[in-house]
Amino acid sequence: MLDICDTKIWRKNRMNDMTKKCYQLARDLTICRIVNGMWQVAGGHGYIDQELAITDMMRYHDAGFTSWDLADIYGPAEDFIGQFRGRVLTLKGKEELERIQALTKWVPQPGRITRSIVKENIERSLRRMSVSSLDLLQFHWWDYNNPYYMDALKFLSDLRDEGIIKHIGLTNFDTERMQIMIDSDIQVVSNQVQYSIIDRRPEVKMIPFCLENNISLLSYGSICGGLVSERYLERREPSTADLDTLSLRKYKKVIDAWGGWNLFQELLLTLKRIAQKYNVSIANVATRYILDKSAVAGVIIGVRLGISDHRNNNTQVFNFNLAKSDSDDIDAVCTKSNDLFETIGDCGDEYR
Ligand SMILES: NC(=O)c1ccc[n+]([C@@H]2O[C@H](COP(=O)([O-])OP(=O)(O)OC[C@H]3O[C@@H](n4cnc5c(N)ncnc54)[C@H](OP(=O)(O)O)[C@@H]3O)[C@@H](O)[C@H]2O)c1
């Protein structure tokens, strides 16, 4: 019998799965390739009603969107997972809980990190999420000049070996630091980074590195907070005041750095033309484009629980494939843009 742990076979299986809905992030962790992003419940994205939010989480789950991206610092996100799991247990029974993947983060303030600090923080997440082990703990570190991130990763690895954490992932780490981790035998399964048609920084160093080291990418910002959609097609340039979520404001700045509103409109027109061919939306084409990239396990799409709902539309991502000529047309627009690797740097450098 073939051993799924064998890296070569496992990687081949992952690739065969590319157009499908699921991705095997680790031997015992398979996720939906569209992951529900919960930063949107942390404030700055409209008022989130707790009851409506939990009800909405059940709808995502029932539609097959069973994977959630969250963090200890995303307001009530971890508590929502705990409450949602309680609701699932009551309504559907224990077995259904197995279908949920909750990928949280630990985002400590840089400083001296001890074993007990790590344990305390991870145990808090376990309690809030009402789980006995974390599916994936994605680690963020604000300041590379502070070397304690390597201590934190060693203590996290101990917790993984004890079974409290199933897998360790990273978020916003650059290639240079990931190489240091590999050299120190720290095992990580993923890195979560900003990756979109307009922000292609991962392609320069991160993706080749990930392929070499069997690490997957989880991508965010792939539809730029909703700017990559029909809603902004042939629209005048919005001012900051016009943009009513933190996410829209964040990615409008990325568009400005990339090439500005006129070039962005050219991109939206190209995406619309492709979308019409397949009877899908602009956001679907942008998501599909990133999902088709090497090393990408999933695209995280933010969900404003109880406020807006793109479930049905986002399901379309799994129902079509882009032709090479479509990708070529998208890439042709991007050749006119600035190189964000040159202006910002490697993945995550925008946070440092
Ligand atoms: N690690 C990090 O540092 C980091 C940073 C940022 C984000 N993230 C993760 O990534 C997640 C996504 O956040 P993001 O800021 O990148 O936002 P995003 O996913 O680019 O945008 C989410 C917004 O896009 C709109 N949308 C979704 N599907 C759509 C569709 N089919 N058609 C049209 N519009 C659609 C919705 O806007 P409306 O609600 O207005 O309709 C939604 O609120 C976060 O929740 C978080 O989990 C991580």
Q: How does DSSP assign 278-307, residue by residue? A: HT--HHHHHHHHHHTSTTEEEEEEE--TTT
- Cβ pair 30, 23 in contact under 8 A: yes
Which residue's CA is the nearest one to ligand 1's atom 4? 220
Instruction: Report the separation in Å between the CA atom of 180 and the middle of ligand 1, taken as the mean of its atom positions.
Output: 31
Residue 183 confidence (pLDDT): 98
Q: Is 298 close to ligand 1, i.e. is its CB under 6 Å away?
A: no
- Nearest C-alpha neighbor of 274 from the set 238, 230, 314, 310: 230
Residue 19 confidence (pLDDT): 52
**Positions in the chain short of pLDDT 70:** 1-19
Residue 13 confidence (pLDDT): 55
Ligand 1, residue 70: give the atom nearest the CA: 47
Q: Is 138 close to ligand 1, i.e. is its CB under 6 Å away?
A: no
Q: Is 302 close to ligand 1, i.e. is its CB under 6 Å away?
A: yes
Question: Which DSSP string corresponds to 83-110?
Answer: HHHHHHHHHH-HHHHTT-EEEEEE-PPS
Instruction: Report the separation in Å between the CA atom of 9 and the middle of ligand 1, taken as the mean of its atom positions.
Output: 33
3-state secondary structure 112-181: CCCHHHHHHHHHHHHHHHCCCCECEEEECCCCCCCCHHHHHHHHHHHHHHHCCECCEEEECCCHHHHHHH
Type of residue numbered 102: A
SS3 label, residue 216: strand
Residue 3 confidence (pLDDT): 31
Which pTM does this prediction carry?
A: 0.96
Instruction: Report the separation in Å between the CA atom of 195 and the middle of ligand 1, taken as the mean of its atom positions.
Output: 12
Which residue's CA is the nearest one to ligand 1's atom 8? 220
Residue 20 confidence (pLDDT): 84
- Nearest C-alpha neighbor of 81 from the set 64, 60, 108: 60
Structure tokens at 246: 């933190």
Which residue's CA is the nearest one to ligand 1's atom 1? 171
Q: Is 128 close to ligand 1, i.e. is its CB under 6 Å away?
A: no
Residue 15 confidence (pLDDT): 44
Instruction: Report the separation in Å between the CA atom of 228 and the middle of ligand 1, taken as the mean of its atom positions.
Output: 10
